[in-house]
Amino acid sequence: MSEFENLDGLGMAELVKTGQVTPAALLEDAIERITKANPAVNAVITTLYDEARAEVAGPIADGPFQGVPFLLKDGGAVGVAGTRLTSGSRYLMDNISKEDGELYLRYKAAGLVACGKTNMPEFGLQPTTEPEAFGPTRNPWNLDLTAGGSSGGAAAAVATRMVPIAHASDSGGSIRIPASCCGVFGMKPTRLRITSSRRHLGVSARMSFLSENAISLTVRDSAALLDASAGPGFADPFQAPRPERPYLSEVGADPGRLRIVVSNESPTGVPLDGHAVAAVEDAARLCESLGHHVEYGVPKLDLGGIAGPFGVVTAHGLAWDIARLEQLTGKVALEEHFEPATWDLIMRGRTSTATVAEYADGLAALQALSEDVQRFQQPYDIWLTPTAGSAPPALGSFSATAEDPTRGMRAAASYLPFTTLINVTGQPAMSVPLYWTADDIPVGAHFVAPYGDEGMLFRLAAQLEAARPWAGRKPLTAA
């Protein structure tokens, strides 16, 4: 057993800051753990060992995570100059980042040492991580099940103790779903709490659903990393409201007596499986035992209409992104470069007869839905729901074919009755690992706070973590 595997990121950094261990020693230990655990779960698809070794040979920024090994999701705002960035797609298999991304620079300033990149579904479009380009990431608790997506590689890596914290992003549940599947902590911050700007891609309409952050073993690591990485970019169209104090100071602070509304039914009308219901009701009982006011309620929302507007925005945004990539790479996008579901979305975006007015109507419908959600939650501090509609399903549950390219999207809509909705509203939300099935499979509980109030979530999360610690639970695949 590694002498560091039971430490979180801040714990490792404390050893570095007090001279008890060197960043080089932490890095070599992480490389050993990745080498041991990765063959089973396929979480890391690009190694940056040489780059990381060169980095720890010099001075490391004296940030909160000084010298801590870290993994980057293989897409988005975390390009590393001179290294491959594929977004899980064969189309970008030979794509090399020309410069360091803004978020990666913030991570370096926090003292983190990136030693690899994690697996993700093609362009982050699925709630499972099974890209044709790299093969599936497997659930560390049962290798036949999904690790979730799109940040499945990050969640599997943290669950198996390759690293204590890993970059993740979320545009429909992509932090919270894999955190739930893998039994770790995942927080989606308020919209644009962390810049999502891609200098060379701009911000398409679908990017308004996206939040960057991380998956972590402990609550305090997530809080400290959000402190270190939050803030707007130069091109961001707006900013999230500034917090009253550092998020790390919220960890351990008294959350007070919160008013919590619990939904143990889906507002879509699609039945939740027994494990999802058991997980949320277990979390509700725990909250009540901690002194919070708990009552049950399900919002009356026209969620049957979310798929249409969300699909229009996603398809047009993806088509726009691919057109920009064609310009930047000089590589024509052909059907053979993409998975069937991705190509179907691209073509829908390229060939749709939707007028500008219809497209704007879709955005307006999503905005109206966002207002309905926040009106439902307004009397309460927290909305508690299942993270997903079921326990982690089997690998292949979201697969699509050329004959039926939308199969996976239809299955995903049933699996995600709550998380995508919160990407539309822009509220902060977290999946907390409080429940395991009789077969030892984790099922997360999903907590949603008012817009801009991650502090409330961190206070509650730390209280839940103290009441029912999860960091000591390890899958057999752990390094």
β-pair partners for 225: none
Contact 113, 104 (CB under 8 A): no
Note whether 448 and 385 are within 8 A (CB).
Answer: yes
Model confidence pLDDT, tens digit, residues 151-188: 999 999 999 999 999 999 999 999 999 999 999 999 99
- 320 pLDDT tier (thresholds 50, 70, 90): confident
pLDDT value at residue 208: 77
Q: CB count, 10 Å around CB of 205?
A: 16
pLDDT of amino acid 202 = 42
pLDDT at res. 177: 98
Active site residue 73: yes
Instruction: Give the pLDDT score at 301.
Output: 81
* Selected catalytic residue, list 73, 108, 117, 188: 73
Would you place residue 85 in the very low, low, confident or very high pLDDT band (cuts 50, 70, 90)? very high
For residues 120 and 151, is the Cβ–Cβ distance under 8 A? yes
pLDDT at 1: 54
The residues facing 118 across adjacent strands are 44, 73
Nearest partner of 215 among 280, 275, 149, judged by Cα: 149
Between 412 and 39, whose confidence is greater? 39
Contact 349, 316 (CB under 8 A): yes
Residue (of 416, 362, 379) closest to 299 by Cα position = 379
Residue 441 pLDDT exceeds 50:
yes
Per-residue model confidence as pLDDT tens digits over 376-410:
999 999 999 999 999 999 999 999 988 999 899 88
Distance in angstroms (rounded) separating the CA atoms of residues 397 and 146? 9
The stretch 125-133 carries a mean pLDDT of 97
Confidence class of residue 198 from pLDDT cuts 50, 70 and 90? low
User: Could you tell me what percent of the chain has a pLDDT over 70?
Assistant: 95
**Are the C-beta atoms of 220 and 8 separated by less than 8 Å?**
yes
Spans of all domains in the chain: 9-467
Q: List the catalytic residue out of 87, 150, 169, 216.
A: 150
Residue in 174, 216, 266, 431 annotated catalytic? 174
Asked if the model's pLDDT at residue 203 lies above 50, the reply is: no
Q: What is the pLDDT of residue 358?
A: 67
Give the C-alpha separation, 120 to 38, whole Å: 14
Tokens of 263: 């939904």
Reported as type and span, the H/E element at residue 222 is: helix 219-229
Q: What CATH number has the domain spanning 9-467? A: 3.90.1300.10
Q: With both helix axes pointing from N to C terminus, report the angle between 23-41 and 9-17 in degrees, rounded to the nearest 10.
A: 160
Is the backbone peptide bond immediately before 150 cis, with ω within 30 degrees of 0? yes
Question: pLDDT of 247-293, one tens digit each?
Answer: 999 999 999 999 999 999 998 888 999 999 999 999 999 999 999 99
CA 127 centroid distance within chain: 10
What are 220-229's pLDDT values in tens digits? 999 999 999 9
> Which of the four pLDDT bands, split at 50, 70 and 90, describes residue 201?
very low
Is 196 annotated as catalytic?
A: no
* Interstrand relation of 44-47 and 293-296 (parallel, antiparallel or unpaired): unpaired
Residues written for the chain: 479
pTM higher than the cut 0.85: yes
Q: What is the enclosing helix (H) or strand (E) of 412?
A: helix 407-415
The rounded mean pLDDT for the chain is 93
Q: Confidence class of residue 205 from pLDDT cuts 50, 70 and 90? A: low
CB atoms within 10 A of CB 469: 10
Judge whether residue 207 has pLDDT over 80: no
C-alpha to C-alpha distance for 304 and 306, rounded to whole angstroms = 6
Mean pLDDT computed over 36-63: 98
Statement: residue 49 has pLDDT above 60: yes
Rg (CA), the chain: 21
Lowest mean pLDDT, pick from 8-22, 346-360, 447-461 = 346-360
